[in-house]
Amino acid sequence: MPEDTNIEKKPRIGVFICHCGSNIGGFVDVKAVTEYASTLPDVVYATDNLYTCAEDGLNNIKESIKEHNLDRVVVSSCTPRTHAPLFQRTCEAAGVNKYMFTFVNIREHCSWVHMKEKEKATQKAKDLVRMGVARARFLEPQEETKIDVTPAALVVGGGVAGMTAALSLANMGFPVHLVEKEKELGGFVKNLHGLMMTKKSANEAIQPLIDKVNAQKNITQYVNSHVATVEGFIGNYDVSIGTEGSESKEVKVGAIIVATGAIPLVPEGLFGYKEHPNVVTSMEFEELCNKKEIPKLKSVAFIQCAGARGQKVSYCSRICCNVAIKTAINIAENRDNMLGATEEKAEAEAGQVVEEPAAEMKAEDEGLERRRRRRGRGRREADEAADEGGAPSSGVEITVFNRDVMAYGVEHELEFNKAREKRVKFIRYLPDNLPKVSTKDGKLEVGYFHETLKMERTMPVDMVILSTPLVSQPDAATLSQLLKVPLGQDGFFQEAHVKLRPVDFATDGVYVCGTCRGPADIAEAASQASAAASRAAIPLANGYVQAEALTSRVDETKCTGCGTCVEVCPYGALRKNDDGISEVIVAACKGCGCCGATCPEGAITMTHYTDQQLLAEAKAALEEV
Partner 1 sequence: MAQKHHTAHHGKKHEPDKEWEPKIVGFLCNWCSYAGADLCGVSRFQYPTNIRLVRVMCSTRVSPHLVLDVFEAGADGILIGGCHLNDCHYMTGNFHTEKRVELMKRLLKEAGIDEGRLRLEWVSASEGEKFSKVVTEFTEGIQKLGPSKVRSDDMMKAKVSAADDASQTFRLKALVGKEFNLLSKGNAYGEEVDAEKLTGVIDVATQDEFERALILELARIRPMSVKQLGMVMDVPTDKILRHIVLLRQNSKIAMEHPEGFTPVYKTIAIGGEQ
Q: What DSSP state is assigned to residue 315?
A: S
491 binds partner 1 per the rule CB under 8 A: no
Residues numbered 568-587 forming contacts with partner 1, rule: CB under 8 A: 568, 570
User: Smallest gap, in angstroms, from Cβ of residue 148 to partner 1?
Assistant: 26
542 neighbors 146 (Cβ within 8 angstroms): no
User: Smallest gap, in angstroms, from Cβ of residue 12 to partner 1?
Assistant: 24
Q: What string marks each residue from 217 to 256 as x (binds partner 1 by CB under 8 A) or -? A: ----------------------------------------
User: Smallest gap, in angstroms, from Cβ of residue 8 to partner 1?
Assistant: 18
328 neighbors 490 (Cβ within 8 angstroms): no
286 neighbors 330 (Cβ within 8 angstroms): no
Residues numbered 127-186 forming contacts with partner 1, rule: CB under 8 A: 127-128, 131
User: Smallest gap, in angstroms, from Cβ of residue 615 to partner 1?
Assistant: 6
Smaller CB separation from partner 1, 291 or 499: 499
Q: How open is the CA angle 343-347-353, to the nearest 5 degrees? A: 145
The residue range among 8-16, 232-240, 302-310, 596-604 that interacts with partner 1, by the rule CB under 8 A, is: 596-604
Residues numbered 74-133 forming contacts with partner 1, rule: CB under 8 A: 79-81, 105, 107-110, 112-117, 120-121, 123-124, 127-128, 131
Q: Could you tell me if residue 2 is left (phi over 0), alpha (psi between -120 and 50 degrees) or otherwise beta?
A: beta
Smaller CB separation from partner 1, 127 or 355: 127
Long-range contacts at 25-30 (CB < 8 A, ≥ 24 apart) = 25/50, 26/111, 27/110, 27/111, 27/112, 27/114, 27/115, 27/118, 27/121, 28/106, 28/110, 28/111, 28/118, 28/121, 28/122, 28/125, 29/118, 29/122, 30/125
Smaller CB separation from partner 1, 386 or 550: 550
Q: Please list, in sequence order, all residues whose beta carbon lies within 8 angstroms of the beta carbon of residue 111, skipping any fewer than 6 positions away.
A: 20, 23, 24, 26, 27, 28, 121, 125
Smaller CB separation from partner 1, 363 or 597: 597
User: Smallest gap, in angstroms, from Cβ of residue 569 to partner 1?
Assistant: 10
User: Smallest gap, in angstroms, from Cβ of residue 50 to partner 1?
Assistant: 20
244 neighbors 258 (Cβ within 8 angstroms): no
Residue 427 phi/psi, 5-degree rounding, is -115, 130
Tell me how many residues contact partner 1 (CB under 8 A).
51
479 binds partner 1 per the rule CB under 8 A: no
57 neighbors 49 (Cβ within 8 angstroms): yes
Pairing assessment for the beta strands 236-243 and 225-233 based on DSSP bridges? antiparallel
User: Smallest gap, in angstroms, from Cβ of residue 46 to partner 1?
Assistant: 20
Smaller CB separation from partner 1, 134 or 192: 134
Long-range contacts at 363-369 (CB < 8 A, ≥ 24 apart) = 366/421
60 binds partner 1 per the rule CB under 8 A: no
User: Smallest gap, in angstroms, from Cβ of residue 321 to partner 1?
Assistant: 28
Report the interhelical angle of 320-333 vs 410-421 (nearest 10°): 40
1 binds partner 1 per the rule CB under 8 A: no
315 binds partner 1 per the rule CB under 8 A: no
541 neighbors 548 (Cβ within 8 angstroms): no
Q: What DSSP state is assigned to residue 255?
A: E
Out of 39, 214, 246, 598, the residue judged to bind partner 1 by CB under 8 A = 598
622 binds partner 1 per the rule CB under 8 A: yes
Q: Could you give the CA distance from residue 456 to residue 31 in angstroms, rounded to a whole number?
A: 85
User: Smallest gap, in angstroms, from Cβ of residue 380 to partner 1?
Assistant: 48
490 binds partner 1 per the rule CB under 8 A: no
589 binds partner 1 per the rule CB under 8 A: no
User: Smallest gap, in angstroms, from Cβ of residue 51 to partner 1?
Assistant: 17
Cα distances (angstroms) measured from residue 212 to each of 166, 216, 332: 10, 6, 34
User: Smallest gap, in angstroms, from Cβ of residue 528 to partner 1?
Assistant: 20
Q: Could you tell me if residue 310 is left (phi over 0), alpha (psi between -120 and 50 degrees) or otherwise beta?
A: left
26 binds partner 1 per the rule CB under 8 A: no
Q: Please list, in sequence order, all residues whose beta carbon lies within 8 angstroms of the beta carbon of residue 59, skipping any fewer than 6 positions away.
A: none
Q: Could you give the CA distance from residue 463 to residue 14 in angstroms, rounded to a whole number?
A: 83
User: Smallest gap, in angstroms, from Cβ of residue 62 to partner 1?
Assistant: 25
In sequence order, what E strands does 271-392 have? 279-281, 299-303
The residue range among 55-63, 275-283, 524-532, 614-622 that interacts with partner 1, by the rule CB under 8 A, is: 614-622
CA atoms within 13 A on the CB side of 146: 6
User: Smallest gap, in angstroms, from Cβ of residue 116 to partner 1?
Assistant: 7
548 neighbors 586 (Cβ within 8 angstroms): yes
The residue range among 154-162, 272-280, 319-327, 617-625 that interacts with partner 1, by the rule CB under 8 A, is: 617-625
Q: Could you give the CA distance from residue 480 to residue 446 in angstroms, rounded to a whole number?
A: 41
4 binds partner 1 per the rule CB under 8 A: no
Out of 7, 86, 453, 597, the residue judged to bind partner 1 by CB under 8 A = 597
User: Smallest gap, in angstroms, from Cβ of residue 408 to partner 1?
Assistant: 24
562 binds partner 1 per the rule CB under 8 A: yes
Binding site for partner 1 (CB under 8 A): 79-81, 105, 107-110, 112-117, 120-121, 123-124, 127-128, 131, 496, 506, 550, 562, 564, 567-568, 570, 590-594, 596-602, 606, 609, 611, 614-615, 617-619, 621-622
